[in-house]
Amino acid sequence: MAQHFRAAFGQEPAAPVSNKCHHAPQMEVVMNAELPQERVADDRSVATAAKWNANGPCMVKLAVIAAFAASGLANRAVAAPATVTLEEALAQSAAGTTIPLSSYSVDFGKGNGLYKGVIVGGNPFSGIPTPVTIDVVVIPLTIQIITPDNHLVVFDPTIPTACGGGVSAVDRLKHSPLVVSKDHIVNGVDVGDVQYINAFMRAEFWNASEFSKFLDDHLHWTFVEQAPIPLPPFTPEVGIVEGDVSTPGCWARGIVTQSVLVGLIQDWIPLLQYQGVISPTKLALFLMRDVVTSVHAPPVSEKAGGAHSAIGNPVQTYAWVPYLTNNFDALAGKQDIHSISHEIGEWMMDPLIGLKGNKTPKWSAPGAKKCSSVLEVGDPIEKWSVAVETDGYTYHPQELAFFSWFYNGENVPSFGAGGEFSSNGHFAGPARPCPPGGTYR
């Protein structure tokens, strides 16, 4: 189910772009247009800036952006292998040159023999898991979109807005259960006073071994206070604003073409590493406010909230996510940290996707038509969230599917908390092989 597409740049001769992009970015679509990223074309930052040049004001700022982009390309510090083996990634983890990783090898009666993979953090299958702290660096991205009638709409996660209740997206995230510890009851089991994703990981492996309930994967968060990346504005070819920005009521969100956004982020990763802002030993979390992505150019309604991926050697894991204050996503049951919890949960369980993802027996979300075979714990169960209060505000992180849901045969019990197959009981049985997919119970 790989889908290949071509980015808009390079197909549009109108802009005076000397460095046209001749490479077709190729990505595998995994459920709901959420994409693991492969390294793609090299010259899109320059192409983006040049396109912007052809469209708008602020030539001086543009020149700076183009120069930065070009220097980022020239100084690219990260070699991008087509893939990395599990052994290489584990060796890097052991040497402390990438994030802490543990490996697994399982056969729980669904056919095709052993499945091997790596997860972030301690090992739930062997002895008493070593407590692990994993660094996360939040890099705010201010997204600017030029509308067809030449207005510039700015989505800035560092600025308080009325839609966010007078609080910035960055500050909301800082006080959320992804960062702040609290006692979590998962499927009736008290898994302890921890962060939300740590609670999920514990619950997921609660009965995997004699000591697996002591799994402790704590995320240590650092917030870059100001956006270090001067992204060029998205022109109508690659960015649109949905809704009405002129009236109050939080009815606006941005949709940008994913290959363009990802190209810009990938071009900046080596520079941010060089500056010491990020490193392969830390998850780089690029945070937007109310901006989602589309695989199309111009963007259309097929949207993904965010995605996570890996690049380089040693492996740098990264993700881009929106904090949601708008009403569009709330109507669809996705609010505040829904997408962020989705991507971080998936990163914990499949950190190397984009290079060497964890394979599973084929599954599909209930009601979905396409089969998938990657260990992405958010994708099968996107429509459910749980209400969790921290620091006086109620957040809505997503329910996530357990390891046992993907790998267990029909009658193999879950080792998850409460014997369930997801973190709030909506999956009471494992995934049914796809097709037809769905869940047994």
Residues 27-56 that bind Zn ion (CB under 5 A): 34
399 binds Zn ion (CB under 5 A): no
> Is 380 near Zn ion (CB under 5 A)?
no
Q: CA nearest 132: which of 74, 198, 224?
A: 198
- Closer residue to Zn ion (CB): 197 or 271: 197
Among 217, 267, 336, 376, binds Zn ion (CB under 5 A): 376
The nearest distance, CB 358 to Zn ion, in angstroms, is: 13
CB of 179 vs Zn ion, minimal distance in Å = 20
* Rg of the chain over all Cα atoms, to the nearest angstrom: 21
- Find the angle CA(378)-CA(379)-CA(383) to the nearest 5 degrees: 85
> Which residue lies nearer to Zn ion by CB, 35 or 145?
35
> Of 38 and 379, which has the nearer Cβ to Zn ion?
379
Shorter beta-carbon distance to Zn ion: residue 66 or 344: 344
CB distance 329 to 251 below 8 Å: no
Q: SS in 3 state form for 116-169?
A: EEEEECCCCCCCCCCCEEEEEEEEECCEEEECCCCCEEEECCCCCECCCCCECH
How many chain residues touch Zn ion (CB under 5 A)?
Answer: 5
Alpha-carbon span 365 to 439, nearest angstrom: 8
One-letter amino acid at 312 equals G
Measure the CA–CA gap between 155 and 286, rounded to whole angstroms. 13
> Minimal distance in Å, beta carbon 306 to Zn ion?
8
- Among the listed ranges 292-300, 346-354, 358-366, 419-427, the one in contact with Zn ion (CB under 5 A) is 346-354
Q: Which is nearer to Zn ion, 140 or 306 (CB)?
A: 306
Q: What are phi and psi of 68, to 5 degrees?
A: -60, -45
Does residue 350 belong to the site contacting Zn ion (CB under 5 A)? no
Could you tell me the CA-to-CA distances from 204 to 317, 346, 385, 386 in Å, in that order?
22, 13, 16, 16
Read off the tokens for 414.
């879950």
Considering only 122-130, 141-149, 282-290, 373-381, which stretch makes contact with Zn ion by CB under 5 A? 373-381
Query: Cα(279)–Cα(330) distance, rounded to whole angstroms?
Result: 34
Nearest distance from C-beta of residue 379 to Zn ion, angstroms: 4
**88 part of the interface to Zn ion, by CB under 5 A:** no
Near Zn ion by CB under 5 A: residue from 378, 380, 397, 437: 378
Determine the Cα–Cα distance for residues 278 and 31; give it in Å rounded to an integer: 29
- Binding residue for Zn ion (CB under 5 A) from 217, 379, 399, 420? 379
Contact between 238 and 263 under an 8 Å Cβ cutoff? The reply is no
Choice between 88 and 376, CB closer to Zn ion: 376
Could you tell me the smallest distance in angstroms from the CB atom of residue 368 to Zn ion? 12
Which positions lie near Zn ion, rule CB under 5 A?
Answer: 34, 346, 376, 378-379
